[in-house]
Amino acid sequence: MTLIPYQILTKSLMAMSPGSDRWGRVVRRLESIWTSPYPEMVVGSWDPKTATGQQVPSKLVWVRLDEFDMLDRRGIRYLFDIAAERLVAAYVISQGKNAVTRKGEPDDRLAGHPLHNSLLFDRGHTIAHTLGGGADINIVPQNSKVNRSGRKDLPTGFRTLERRAVETPGSLYFVRWLYNGATGGQQVPTSVEQGLLLPMRAPEVYTFAN
């Protein structure tokens, strides 16, 4: 399935050779899809006690991380809005399965991450731990049913594409959070897009309500 904004990636993907790691043109187009329609004004300085904030100009920045020292020089790229204090998107070139366990400090930090309405949401990993994703900037309130969908006993769901990315080193895996009509200081996404890109293949992109 290809969502309309991502159709522009098809030509660039078809021009790539099988196994190619030349993702530059695709990445530039992908980043444009995420930044071009992003709102110029967002709610910042959110006070959870009064549930109020103020309109401020958005401020998007790119952050590169490799918390487990398992990825190539590109690491994981995160698109973060400093003004709204929220993650917008992230992508990674799969290096296969992360051999570092989740025991210890990363899980300690995960447990301490703020959670909006624990009855509905998990502390969801934007980039799965199995792909090298850690805690902190990588964690977003994610609908529990969506986050846990696609486990091994289920044929489809959010975790299905995560597993396929792990099983396909060299593929480009991404997640984009959308905040249209968001609540909780506009830091709780209302939907999420998830995609897997491969040379000589049309983009495979899915959307889930959050």
Domain that holds residue 67: 4-209
Structure-token pair, residue 31: 């980043």
Distance, in Å, from the CA atom of 95 to the CA atom of 109, rounded to the nearest integer, reads: 24
pLDDT score for 122: 86
* DSSP structural state of residue 137: G
Higher pLDDT, 42 or 194: 194
Q: What confidence tens digit (pLDDT) does each residue in 145-177 have? A: 888 876 665 556 888 999 999 999 999 999 999
pLDDT at residue 181 greater than cutoff 90: no
Short-list 95, 207, 76, CA closest to 135: 76
Backbone angles phi, psi at 4, to 5 degrees: -50, -50
User: What is the pTM for the complete model shown?
Assistant: 0.89
Quote the percentage of the chain above a pLDDT of 70: 84
DSSP H helix total and E strand total for the chain: 5, 10
CATH number for position 102: 3.40.570
Q: What is the CA radius of gyration of the chain?
A: 17
Lowest mean pLDDT among 28-37, 96-105, 131-140: 96-105
Domain count of the chain? 1
Lowest mean pLDDT among 32-46, 152-166, 187-201: 152-166
User: Which amino acid is located at 165 in the chain?
Assistant: A
Span 80-104, average pLDDT: 88
Q: Confidence band (pLDDT; 50, 70, 90) for 17? A: very high
pLDDT score for 103: 64
pLDDT at residue 113 greater than cutoff 70: no
